[in-house]
Amino acid sequence: MSIKCPLYINGQFIETADKQNIINPSTGKVIAEACLASEKEAELAIASARAASDQGPWPQFSHLQRKEFILKIAQGILDNAASLAQLEMQNAGKPIKETTFMDIPSSAKAFESIANNFIDYLQDEEFSISNEAKGKVLSEPMGVVVLIIPWNYPLLIACWKLAQALAAGNVVILKPSSLTPVTVLELAKIIHNSGLPAGVVNIINASGSKIGEALCADKRVDMISFTGSNEIGKQILQYSSKNVKKSIMELGGKSASLIFDDVDLDTAVNGSLVSIFLNQGQMCTAMSRIFVQEDIYDKFLDSFIEKAKRIKLGLADDYQTQMGPLISDAQRKKVIGYIEKAKAEGAKVLCGGKIPDKAELKNGYFFEPTVLVDVGAHSHIFKEEVFGPVVLIHKFSGSDEAVALANSIDFGLAACIWSKDLFLAQELAGRLNAGVVWINTYGMFYNQLPYGGFKQSGFGKELGRQGFLEYVRFKSVIIDQSDGGKPLVNYWYGF
């Protein structure tokens, strides 16, 4: 029997007549029936959130009261970790090893970390401006925040955004991807059981084409935090321009990894495999362009291909599986289309490039790890995000060429540098046009550090002090301290 997933609005679980089947990408089978919101439910969520922000107790709660609720949610995620890991595996097609040891613990840690740090982030500041005045900078909630979540990390990215928004005193309307709503709607039960006041968190599942404009254009919404594709991000910005509001846009990437000839080859190859094939390459930060210094290029390429061929594709519920399915048949067709276009533009496929022929995988949306070479810098696949297990490997001679290749596209989300020369690596990190740079590692996200990109990869940050303060507005208060309470304006016109 499939799982039933109602909406969560104003503290109530709401069934709708319109529903959708949720598919397990490993098997093609239905695992859940999720309610779909119409503009009617979107209106109810906005009205409930606005009332909770304007008349409800949450924005006036003390920092310690907010901290208590946020820690309850963190504990609720841990208490339900096993079932959440199973649901995330079934809904998103992630290998169970990843959901168990990465996604779910990291989701709880997002709440725990912000609970233990946000009070320090929210300290009001005072300034002695002159003998005549002193100033204060007060931090306040933004108000009603719409959080729009992608399908590649459904629970984790929801928790990143939700923990920060709540800690800052905001109320939230959270819209998961309609492909992967199950764990976020399950999170609604944890939030409800924490005793959070009604209307503070509203979770509505729907196609963005149906309710996106209703959520993003409404003047009762104060802020939008979106993670997803560049195309949809631009659409959201158009909607929000009808009633100007703050936005965070974490959009696509076409990240580059620079491998220098002084590295330990095995370490660089193993790290690079993870940097592109983890989560089936469905990561904004995927290192889909790997540039290798020419002296070790052949050795690196041979080792990378040999190990890529050994990656175990399998059903996501198998702990031996190293790579699961893509999210949908449509996504797999998109990946295949990019490979065919790359071949037409002169690229060679040295590994993968096709649907696996194993009988046990035939009902899922599987695709082999794929390695391309001879990819020209002007080809589509060099510049555009594939969002699948496809990597191009290219050689370079010196560091200037490597940086120029990495920076030559419109995206600027992330990069890797692999070198034993840490002085060089750190100097190059400053030259790379990317918001996150890993040196001799990949994919280590720390809640204390901000995350977000440059250029067409968007603007604004998540995580860290900088990310948290995106969810806060600042108010300046100037207090007169002139002698006798007679400020300059008292004399200006001489009355």
Give the catalytic positions in this structure.
250, 284
Dihedrals φ, ψ of 218, to 5°?
A: -65, 130
Element (H, E) at 49: helix 39-54
**Is 444 buried (19+), middle (13-18) or exposed (0-12) by CB count in 10 A?**
exposed
Q: What is the rounded end-to-end Cα distance, in angstroms, of the chain?
A: 82
Encoded tokens for 452: 């977000």
Whole-angstrom distance, CA of residue 28 vs CA of residue 315: 11
Could you identify the residue written with the tokens 């362009």? 289
Could you identify the residue written with the tokens 């729009």? 148
- Helical packing angle, 39-54 and 208-217, nearest 10°: 30
> Residue 123 carries which side chain, given as an amino acid letter?
Q
Are 202 and 8 in contact by the 8 Å Cβ rule? The answer is yes
CA 229, distance to chain mean position in Å, is 11
What single string gives the DSSP state of each residue in 382-439?
A: HHS---SSEEEEEEESSHHHHHHHHTSSSEESEEEEE-S-HHHHHHHHHHS--SEEEE
- Helical packing angle, 182-193 and 81-92, nearest 10°: 160
Question: What's the residue count for the chain?
Answer: 495
DSSP, collapsed to helix, strand or coil, labels residue 370 as strand
Encoded tokens for 68: 């208590």
Whole-angstrom distance, CA of residue 371 vs CA of residue 347: 10
